[in-house]
Amino acid sequence: MRSSWKATVTFLKTSLNLANQPLTNNLPLTYIIKDLNMSNNPIRTTNPNVPYYWQRSMSARSGNGQFSTDGQTLYSYRKPIGKTIEGRKVLCLYTAADGNFESATTSQHVGLAKRNCNSHWTTDAGDFERS
């Protein structure tokens, strides 16, 4: 059973950096703690938002659970496609154009994650998995 805590807080827009949350200066706002990822449960979100949470080292998963992150590693199905190496988000390009094709869906997941990583791993995917 999932439970949520509710808290009403007043803060300035610049005092918190919340993903996709509309904030108005100095108004009381109510947030559910699980939405702020203060619980152990991953945030349930859409595919395009999963890499956003990976970039911020927060756990999240897509609605069907096939695209997910624990904050350190980004997964397409259960295959790691992105890792945090020395604090940098590194994405392995599992696409046909890069010679590391896995599946059409994994290629879509890679495409969504490209804008949320620090660098791309373009060499042998086997080396990426061993790193």
Clarify whether residues 54 and 115 are in a common domain: yes
Residue-number span of the structural domain to which 5 is assigned: 1-41
Are residue 59 and residue 122 in the same domain, yes or no?
yes
- Contact between 90 and 117 under an 8 Å Cβ cutoff? The reply is yes
| 123 shares its domain with 79 | yes
Does this model's pTM top 0.75? no
Q: Clarify whether residues 51 and 35 are in a common domain.
A: no
35 and 20 belong to one structural domain: yes
Q: For residues 9 and 72, state if they share a domain.
A: no
- Rounded Cα distance between 85 and 82, Å, is 9
Number of structural domains (the chain) is 2
Distance CA 11, CA 64 (A): 34
Q: Are 56 and 19 contacting, i.e. CB atoms less than 8 angstroms apart?
A: yes
| Residues 54, 96 share a domain | yes
Contact 25, 8 (CB under 8 A): no
Same domain, 67 and 114: yes
Digit-by-digit pLDDT tens for the chain (131 residues) are 444 444 444 444 444 455 555 555 544 444 444 445 444 688 999 999 999 999 999 999 999 999 999 999 999 999 999 999 888 898 988 877 777 788 899 989 999 999 888 777 655 555 666 66
